[in-house]
Amino acid sequence: MKIVALAMVVSVVSFVGCQKDEDTVNTNVEEASVERPWNMISYKGMIERLEYYDKTRKPVLENALGFEDTRINYYSIETIENYIKYVKQLSKEKGIELTGINFVSGAYPKEASYGTPGYQHFIFMPTTNINGRNIGFDPALSTKDNIVTIKEKLSDFGYNWVYDSNEDYNNRNNISKDILKNYSNRNGTPDLDSGSANVTNIAPPYE
């Protein structure tokens, strides 16, 4: 009887253990489907935007560059998810609110040994709430008591970022002496990893 009772206990424990393992696995299953997001558009709405770009941007860029610039930036789902998880994790660890991500236009220099030289691309810049505005910041360099903005770090390398406010943009031609000095010293300034991201597959050009 003692042997039978012991066997029953072992069986129950084993069953519960297996059940817990199954529950752990099941937590990875996606939750119920979400509703259609508010920012979805119709096909006619899409065509209006594409045609207006074709008429007003495409010819100007082709005339200026001599070729059609990038139209498509491709990122795998894993790339996007990993980046969002990373900046979310950093922000949570620092106790900083992550409000979103700016997609900022940039271009690979013609002489670049990376990316697709000469073509446009997007840079991901995380944002947080500063005085009621979504401001680009670096979660890797920030602390809860000292939020380091993208504007601050770019100015350290001599770049005048003017897109955080209307005031900055209106005064974009008034570059401070410190930024001009940092620009002159850029080559001698050690590089620094940022909390922003790039590296994508673009089209055009096509392989």
Question: Using an 8 Å Cβ cutoff, are 158 and 184 in contact?
Answer: yes
Residues 6+ apart with CB under 8 A from 122: 73, 103, 104, 105, 106, 198, 200
Q: Is the pLDDT of residue 154 over 90?
A: yes
Residues 6+ apart with CB under 8 A from 141: 148, 153, 195
What is the rounded distance in angstroms from the CA atom of residue 186 to the CA atom of residue 180?
10
Higher pLDDT, 121 or 6: 121
Q: What percent of the chain has pLDDT over 90?
A: 80
Please report which confidence band the pLDDT of residue 10 belongs to, taking 50, 70 and 90 as the band edges.
very low
Please report which confidence band the pLDDT of residue 33 belongs to, taking 50, 70 and 90 as the band edges.
confident
Q: What percent of the chain has pLDDT over 70?
A: 85
What is the rounded distance in angstroms from the CA atom of residue 26 to the CA atom of residue 38?
29
